[in-house]
Structure 1
Amino acid sequence: MTRRARLLSVVVIVLCGAIGVISSTQTWLTVELADGAHHTLEVPGASAVPVLAPLSLAVLALGAALSIVGLVLRYVFGALAILVGGTLAWLTARVAFEHPVSAVASVVTESTGIAGQKSVAQLIATISASGWPAVTLVVWAVLIVAGAFVLATARRWSGTGRRYRTEDAARPTAPAGPRPHDAAGSHAIDDWDDLSRGEDPTA
């Protein structure tokens, strides 16, 4: 059960981070300009929520590191997963339900050269959302649950490296005392000293 809890936590958190990274490259919002020609602009997740890509990468790294850290860092990482998941859920929900002008302003400015939120708002006829904000919002909800699961089960996870420490402890140690080659070396030194004093070492 403890191995499954660790594996489940790591896999879920890594998947959440991976989906977040993928989502940051997908179209979240479509903007129709009030320019007579009704040009449309596609706004990717990374533009709608600027912190989406970096925080998703952080979640990926957090999930990978969770597989090897000790007890204290498990609690830290579990809390971080909840914090990051909550932050991204709030930002994603705002884009999904409110379609704010601030989420598309950078793309509109890049396309038209007109800056300033009021000026940009006057250029926009409609803003519509794709399915990606809703999907990503569910992912962040799962991440929050995964972080809570880590906090609830972290103490029961088996420690990394324990098996190797047990094998080392069970391995027999060599008996103390001089080794045969050490004794032979001592005799050779004594014979040399006898010769230096003019004595016969074989006597």
Structure 2
Amino acid sequence: MSIARRGRSLGVSGFLLAGAVGIISSTQTWLTVERADAGAAILVPGADALQLLAPLSLAVLALGAALSIAGRIVRLVFAVVAAATAVLLGWSMIPLLVSPPLSAVAPSITDTTGLAGSAALSDVVASITPTFWPFLALAAWVLLFATAVLVLLTWRQWKTGGRRYRTEGVAADHGDGAVDAVDSWDELSRGTDPTR
């Protein structure tokens, strides 16, 4: 089976996997702060290091779930939104991986030490080291971007849903005979007023 024919299943799987990794990593330690005052190291979870991580990961999960039943144009919109989300999250993570800024750990340090202000926090911090979780999350965003591109390339070849999901062009033809209660109910289900 070609990739174009498997586009829907690969798209849904890729979106769900990336979103799940994002959600799981948001609860894990992303940055370890070694203290200059010989205190215990401060562990900063992903949701604190990157504020957008948890909500956007949930959005990606929702996109993955909705992609499985989305119509033609909606697939295209979902793919564009997913690609933009992957770029935004990936770009936001680069400073955390290269040289984590003090602002990413400041709330956690303040909660632990009670100190505030960049000068006081700088005196407490000896080093900030990323763990493997942000690297794993970055890999998830690369996967999300690649999956979004795959959806953009294959969305036209996906099979559409069955007839039961479509309402346009469906009209009951009863001829000149009487309409019973079941036929009336079916017409209501289709959006047609049986009393006309």
Return the TM-score normalized by structure 1: 0.79
Aligned to 2:76: 75
Structure 1, unmatched stretches of 5+, are 180-203
- Residue 104 of structure 1 aligns with an amino acid whose one-letter code is V
For the residue of structure 1 that corresponds to 2:31, the secondary structure is strand
Q: State how many pairs are aligned.
A: 176
Contact 2:28 2:133 in 1 (8 A): yes
1:34–1:164: structure 2 CA closer, same or farther, 3 Å change rule? Answer: closer
Greater C-alpha radius of gyration: 1
Provide the identity percentage. Answer: 46
Distance of 1:164 and 1:17 partners within structure 2? 27
Aligned to 1:11: 13
Cα offset for 1:93? 2.0
Return the TM-score normalized by structure 2: 0.82
Cα offset for 1:117? 2.5
Contact 2:5 2:157 in 1 (8 A): no
Cα offset for 1:112? 1.1
Within-5 A mapping of 1:85-100: 85-100=86-101
Q: List structure 1 segments (4+ residues) > 3 angstroms apart after TM superposition.
A: 162-165
Within-5 A mapping of 1:1-203: 1=2, 3-35=5-37, 37-162=38-163, 176-178=175-177
Cα offset for 1:69? 1.2
Contact 2:49 2:104 in 1 (8 A): yes
Over the residues paired in the alignment, what is the CA RMSD in angstroms? 2.4
- Residue 33 of structure 1 aligns with an amino acid whose one-letter code is R
Structure 2, unmatched stretches of 5+, are 179-196
- Residue 72 of structure 2 aligns with an amino acid whose one-letter code is L
